[in-house]
Amino acid sequence: MDNNAFYIPINIEFTAPNKRSFLLLVDKLSTTSNSANLSLLNEFFFYLFKDIQEHKQEEIAQLRERYKDIFPQDTSEITIIGYHIYQWIKHGEDNILVTENIINDTIKKNILCDETRQESECFYAFREKYRNLPQIAYTLGIQTRSSKLADLKNILTELPPLISITSFNFDKSKTSLSLIDKDKKYTGRFSFNAYGRTITPEEISSIAKKLGNLCFKTDEELDIALALKKVQELLNQIGHSETVNSNIISSLEELRYLLQQSETEYGRLSSYQKTIKLFEVFRMLSDANICTM
């Protein structure tokens, strides 16, 4: 993967108490692993962004000014739109781009619906096209539904990352003596790679803050400098004790050396690699019982 892209291998064991739960699990996994579903998602958001560009030029200009400290002036409108929608979904920023009219217009353009067709026919055609993505088809695709902004936000909030299923195995057994299919319990395991792209500095900072709180019960962000400081404090504390085992001091010295090496490399790492490095530092401190300080 390039410096801005990454994948995380994940292995999961599951138990589904009935067929409905099992099918919901399969549906969730297929949302962003099935190529046909990915094509549908891509097509929907293509028309959504295109419609925003067509009708929200004034708002896009406002956002370009709002985000001028983040993006240069030649940043594409698509990037500005995507970033604003992300801030709306992730951080609750007021949405000034997406409206219910834009969602409805996106649906019509998606199935090439023009004034020669009745609106009800257009929305029916959209539901048929997106029926393998029911969270879109039966919320946004309902003509009279009045909560489409909330629906879209919920869809994006719950949208799984891009994944590639590498294995999926399951068995089914009876939970009772009944022969009815709904009484079957499903157990199994699956593996997949979850793909991501571009971890922002804000996300790295948020992760560092959570790790700092886990390790030291503080709001201070965990970074390599803080880890080195804590190691040195412990070395200073036990260096004057005559009862400390020399192996403990040797282990701490080795840890300090490893952290110093990491510190020299950290600035050259990608955002994803920096995130992994923070977790590695947390694990090293935890293994050395320094997180109990």
Give Cβ neighbours of residue 279 (< 8 Å, ≥ 6 apart).
211
> What is the amino acid identity at position 220?
E
Residue 16, sorted as left (phi over 0), alpha (psi -120 to 50) or beta, turns out to be: beta
State the Cα–Cα distance between residues 272 and 13, nearest whole angstrom.
26
Q: Do the Cβ atoms of 132 and 40 come closer than 8 Å?
A: yes
Other beta carbons within 10 Å of 145: 16
Other beta carbons within 10 Å of 166: 12
Other beta carbons within 10 Å of 100: 16
Give Cβ neighbours of residue 181 (< 8 Å, ≥ 6 apart).
19
Per-residue pLDDT of the chain (293 residues; tens, 9 = 90+): 455 677 889 999 999 998 899 999 999 999 999 999 999 999 999 999 999 999 999 999 999 999 998 888 899 999 999 999 999 998 899 999 999 999 999 999 999 998 888 999 999 999 999 999 999 999 999 999 999 999 999 999 999 999 999 999 999 875 554 555 556 789 999 999 998 877 778 889 989 999 999 999 888 999 999 999 999 988 888 766 666 667 788 888 999 999 999 999 998 888 888 988 999 999 999 998 898 65
- The CA distances from residue 104 to 54, 120, 127, 222, 235, in Å, are 14, 12, 13, 46, 64
Q: Which two tokens stand for residue 215?
A: 């390790």
Q: Do the Cβ atoms of 215 and 184 come closer than 8 Å?
A: no
pTM across the whole model: 0.70
Its sign, for the CA torsion 74, 79, 81, 85, is: negative
